[in-house]
């Protein structure tokens, strides 16, 4: 049994010792069968939340109304959720009624896809009432029960379906495909934040081109917030080897092909984190430069290693070239630079003030940039006295003000 399961096994045993059923469920079981990396596990149980709180001395009510308790046990935390049924879904996302039950099969019945509707007991036996293992073997994404009902219950499942295709390289079951196309419009009822989270995983997937093709084929793309709702853009992306790119690189590439003059607005509509937006925009501006230039040491330095790697990977993708060694090559060049950050400079602003009898001001930032460029262009070395002589030899340093 996988070490992640073994770490949670004492929790399963303790619940069983108290007279209840408990199983590993969901994505961890799926990934175990696919021999994919498992990061955490979910436990489902016949015990109610209050019975779980009686069994364990340290718990947190993270979602008690929906049956979920966080169990803190021997220095680790585990989510334990009571078997439940759901009904009367409102706004195509959340159930009005959640009922705690004692049946594992009824609990698995409410799940989205057969590959996620399997459980594993403490002995490693797989419980598979909806033939999820067979669908794994056949590389199929298939809803549990009627696809129409599953998508009407929770329209986010539309995004989850194609996200799993991107991550796993599977195909949609015929009926699931038809109902996804029929219900694509329901995505309008889902919060942008939830769509964006799924989109990030989709773009990161090793089969992102397959997922985007399906979004195009089912018209799901037309209900996305911006950028990726452009048919011609997606068609352009599908002509490139995009499966070699990650999420941020895909955003950069897509903005480049969109020819938009409002990239900030497009990214904000997707509710992306500010830090990610800044990295995407920074990389996009460098990409536009890179398309007509080769890397100089100064441009590499001023770009920063993260953005430089992103830009070069996107650049090679536009050229339809492989990107296998780019990370290593950019890292090698970056590490060979005489300075890799401003903190590496042998001089400080205080030194400049001592050399140039002038009040502190914006001129200092400009002069430091000039010093950096001179060092990176190998005009001078990163030596304090040599830098001073270079500064003093400049005819008129005040021009940097």
Annotated binding-site residue numbers: 27, 30, 40, 42, 111, 154, 157, 160, 163
Q: Under a CB-based contact definition with an 8 Å cutoff, are residues 216 and 223 in contact?
A: no
Q: Which of 183, 133, 137 is nearest to 158 (CA)?
A: 183
Output the six-digit token pair for 276.
Answer: 């990610």
Cα gap 295→318, rounded to integer Å? 17
Q: How do 140-141 and 171-172 pair as beta strands?
A: parallel
Specify binding-site residues for ATP. 27, 30, 111, 154, 157, 160, 163
Cα gap 109→129, rounded to integer Å? 9
Q: What are phi and psi of 375, to 5 degrees?
A: -65, -45
Cα gap 292→205, rounded to integer Å? 30
Q: How do 76-82 and 84-90 pair as beta strands?
A: unpaired
Q: Do you know the residue count of the chain?
A: 401
Output the six-digit token pair for 334.
Answer: 């970056």
* Half-sphere exposure at residue 72, Cβ-oriented, CA atoms within 13 angstroms: 7
Specify binding-site residues for CTP. 27, 30, 111, 154, 157, 160, 163
CA angle 351, 355, 357 (to 5 degrees): 115
Specify binding-site residues for Mg(2+). 40, 42
Q: Which of 336, 342, 352 is nearest to 394 (CA)?
A: 352
CA distances from 14 to 2, 22, 41, 230 (A): 19, 9, 16, 53
Q: Under a CB-based contact definition with an 8 Å cutoff, are residues 262 and 333 in contact?
A: no
């Amino acid at each position: 049994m996988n070490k992640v399961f073994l770490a949670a096994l004492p929790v399963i045993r303790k619940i069983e010792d108290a007279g209840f059923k408990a199983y590993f469920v969901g994505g961890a079981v799926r990934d175990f069968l696919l021999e994919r990396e498992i990061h955490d596990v979910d436990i489902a149980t016949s015990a109610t939340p209050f019975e779980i709180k009686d069994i364990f001395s340290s718990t947190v009510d993270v979602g008690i109304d929906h049956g979920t308790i966080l169990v803190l046990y021997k220095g680790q935390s585990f989510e334990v959720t009571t078997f439940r049924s759901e009904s009367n879904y409102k706004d195509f996302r959340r159930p009005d009624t959640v009922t705690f039950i004692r049946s594992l099969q009824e609990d698995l019945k409410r799940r989205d896809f057969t590959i996620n509707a399997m459980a594993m007991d403490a002995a490693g036996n797989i419980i598979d009432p909806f033939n999820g293992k067979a669908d794994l073997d056949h590389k199929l994404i298939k809803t549990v029960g009627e696809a129409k009902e599953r998508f009407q219950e929770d329209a986010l499942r539309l995004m989850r379906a194609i996200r799993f295709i991107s991550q796993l390289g599977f195909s949609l079951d015929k009926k699931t495909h038809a109902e996804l196309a029929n219900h694509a419009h329901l995505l309008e009822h889902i919060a942008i934040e939830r769509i964006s989270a799924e989109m990030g995983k989709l773009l990161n997937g090793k089969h992102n081109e397959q997922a985007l093709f399906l979004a195009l084929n089912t018209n799901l793309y037309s209900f996305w917030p911006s950028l990726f709702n452009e048919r011609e853009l997606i068609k352009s992306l599908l002509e490139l080897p995009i499966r070699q790119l990650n999420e941020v690189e895909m955003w950069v590439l897509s903005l480049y092909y969109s020819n938009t003059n409002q990239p900030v607005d497009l990214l904000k509509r997707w509710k992306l984190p500010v830090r990610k937006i800044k990295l995407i925009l920074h990389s996009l501006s460098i990409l536009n430069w890179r398309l007509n230039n080769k890397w100089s040491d100064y441009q590499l330095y001023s770009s920063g290693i993260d953005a430089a790697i992103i830009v070069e990977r996107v650049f090679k993708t536009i050229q339809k070239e492989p990107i296998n060694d780019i990370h290593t090559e950019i890292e090698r060049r970056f590490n060979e630079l005489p300075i890799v950050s401003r903190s590496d400079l042998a001089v400080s602003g205080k030194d400049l003030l001592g050399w140039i009898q002038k009040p502190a001001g914006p001129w200092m930032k400009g002069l430091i940039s000039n010093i950096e460029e001179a060092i990176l262009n190998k005009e001078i070395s990163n030596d304090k006295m040599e830098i001073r002589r270079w500064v003093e030899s400049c005819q008129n340093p005040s021009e940097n003000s």
